[in-house]
Amino acid sequence: MALPERGSINWLHVSTLIAVGILVGTEMVGASWAAGWALGGLLQFSPLVSRIVEGLFALCGVVLLYYFMRTAISNESIRN
């Protein structure tokens, strides 16, 4: 059984996805981390609890970035 031929890689689309990942990732993770920092300061948590809240919010940002990139890759054809 022969494998179907695949097209060549469209490097313009790959570079677009990388750029979008960097841009959106910086915004999403940075904003969620800052939200955790602001919440910890607003509620006057101890430094340890504040760091834990920051880490949890940053983790939420990474998860959101994962789902965003998964959707972006499925909608942007990498191969011709």
Distance of CA 47 to CAs 31, 33, 40, Å? Answer: 19, 15, 8
Residues 18-70: tens digit of each pLDDT: 999 999 999 999 999 999 999 999 999 999 999 999 999 999 999 999 999 99
Local confidence band at 6 (pLDDT 50, 70, 90 cut-offs) = confident
In this prediction, residue 34 carries a pLDDT of: 95
In this prediction, residue 78 carries a pLDDT of: 85
Q: Domain boundaries in the chain?
A: 11-75
Task: Write out the DSSP string of 40-76.
Answer: HHHTT--HHHHHHHHHHHHHHHHHHHHHHHHHHHHHS
